[in-house]
């Protein structure tokens, strides 16, 4: 990115003074005007510098609505200029989004547009860049919004953060009988997203940190032994081992009927099993289910980029 | 004894005692009661609709 010229820094100083004197409305409008001028001149680096500093400044003065508005312009500039989805730029947008309090209605829009932009990093990941998901997850976790934090952790590469958050979530909001189920759900879902490393890390850290889980493996709870064996079987790629495990642990796996559906998918992804077909399995329904969970393709969930669909359906 | 015949060969030998113990534990296991809202919130969105 080119260094902004002398002119830009003079203007930035003037705008900064404006904000510090409390002339928020004026400053906001001026940022917008200058932004559009730079963009029209294709001075994208200057536009980004200007709008990022403006958004940061307004947000630090608790001007959340105007700060969020500039945050949206920053993402717009990223999109227009094909700014790479790298750590530096993710930092910029995450720094802004994460200082907007949850109650500000515009925050959701900023999150969604940032995730939308971040999809450019990897066309294969339809739900947005894992680094950005990680930053959002940590923010939501701090706000004790476990449900949304969980969604973003699953789309990040932060298995360690996910495990620690899940321990806290389970202890504060789950039932004692669900100690093993919380980690099973996350492990299965990570595996369905083909994220073996996070599945394994989440399992090991969760079982190590959870106050109600005795040391292991082996564990006292059969479902935990199943997960431990299954993760090992995936490493070895032995289908017969996987099949035997699924059979011997049926009673544990039936505690949540969705587990068997995850395992179908895991069998396909890691052991080359064909997708279930025929009238007995209702394969179409499962496929739709998983696509919904995987967060794209069906159209219905696409573009929300957060666990909003689940939230709506909770009402 | 009949029901366990054969499967042991498909897993590493050191797993067999653990799995056997778990088979016993699962027989004595109480049926899963209702699930918490916190747990259910982790379900895939479409499933949430189906279970209601």
pLDDT exceeding 70 applies to what percent of chain B?
75
Say whether residue A127 is in contact with chain B using an 8 A CB cutoff. Answer: no
Q: Which of B18, B23, B45 sits opposite A313 (nearest CB)?
A: B45
Q: Do B45 and A293 touch (CB under 8 A)?
A: yes
Task: Please give the Cα distance from A119 to A281 (Å, whole number).
Answer: 33
Q: Does residue B23 carry a pLDDT above 70? A: yes
Nearest one of A249, A291, A223 to B47, comparing CA atoms: A291
Shortest Cα distance from B35 to chain A (angstroms)?
7
Q: Which residues of A290-307 are buried (b: 16+ CB within 10 A; e: fewer)?
A: bbbbbbbebeebeebbbb
Contact B38 A147 (CB under 8 A): yes
**Given this model, what pLDDT does residue A153 score?**
97
How high is the pLDDT of residue A305?
A: 36
Residue partners of B23: CB distance under 8 A and separation at least 6: A248, B4
Q: How far is B38 from chain A (nearest CA, A)?
A: 6
CA dist list (Å): A268 to A32, A194, A199, A229, A274:
51, 11, 17, 18, 6
Per-residue pLDDT at A306: 40
Question: Which parts of chain A register pLDDT below 50?
Answer: 1-2, 279-283, 296-315
d(C-alpha A141, C-alpha A168), whole Å: 10
Min distance B26 CA to chain A CA atoms (Å): 6
Quote the pTM value. 0.85
Picking from B23, B35, B39, B51 by the largest number of A CB atoms within 10 A of its own CB, the best residue to mutate is B39
């Amino acid at each position: 990115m080119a260094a902004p010229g002398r002119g830009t820094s003079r203007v930035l100083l003037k705008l900064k003074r404006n904000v510090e004197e409390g002339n928020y409305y004026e400053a906001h409008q001026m940022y917008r005007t200058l932004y559009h001028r730079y963009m029209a001149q294709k001075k994208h680096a200057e536009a980004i510098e200007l709008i990022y500093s403006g958004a940061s400044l307004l947000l630090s003065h608790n001007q959340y609505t105007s700060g969020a508005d500039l945050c949206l312009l920053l993402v717009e500039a990223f999109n227009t200029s094909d700014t790479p989805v790298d750590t530096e730029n993710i930092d910029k947008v995450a720094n802004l989004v994460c200082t907007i309090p949850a109650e500000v209605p515009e925050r959701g829009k900023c999150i969604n547009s940032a995730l939308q932009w971040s999809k450019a990093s990897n066309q294969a990941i339809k739900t947005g860049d894992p680094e950005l998901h990680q930053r959002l997850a940590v923010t939501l976790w701090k706000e004790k919004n476990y449900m949304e934090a969980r969604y973003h952790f699953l789309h990040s590469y932060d298995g360690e953060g996910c495990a620690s958050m899940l321990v806290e979530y389970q202890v504060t909001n789950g039932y004692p009988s669900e100690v093993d189920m919380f980690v099973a759900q996350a492990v299965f879902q990570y595996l369905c997203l083909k994220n073996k490393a996070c599945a394994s890390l989440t399992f090991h850290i969760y079982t190590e940190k959870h106050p109600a889980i005795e040391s292991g493996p082996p564990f006292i709870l059969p479902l935990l032994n199943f997960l431990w064996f299954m993760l090992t079987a995936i490493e070895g790629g032995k289908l017969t081992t996987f099949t035997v495990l699924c059979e011997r642990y049926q009673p544990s796996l039936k505690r949540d009927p969705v587990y068997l559906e995850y395992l179908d998918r895991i069998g396909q992804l890691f052991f080359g099993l064909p997708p279930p077909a025929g009238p007995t399995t209702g394969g179409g329904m499962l496929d739709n289910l998983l696509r919904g969970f995987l967060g794209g393709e069906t159209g219905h969930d696409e573009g929300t980029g957060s666990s909003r669909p689940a939230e709506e359906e909770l009402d | 004894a009949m029901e366990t015949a054969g499967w042991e060969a498909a897993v590493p030998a050191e797993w067999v005692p653990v799995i056997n113990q778990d088979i016993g534990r699962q027989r004595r296991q109480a049926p899963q009661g209702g699930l918490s809202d916190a747990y259910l919130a982790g379900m895939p969105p479409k499933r949430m609709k189906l279970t209601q």
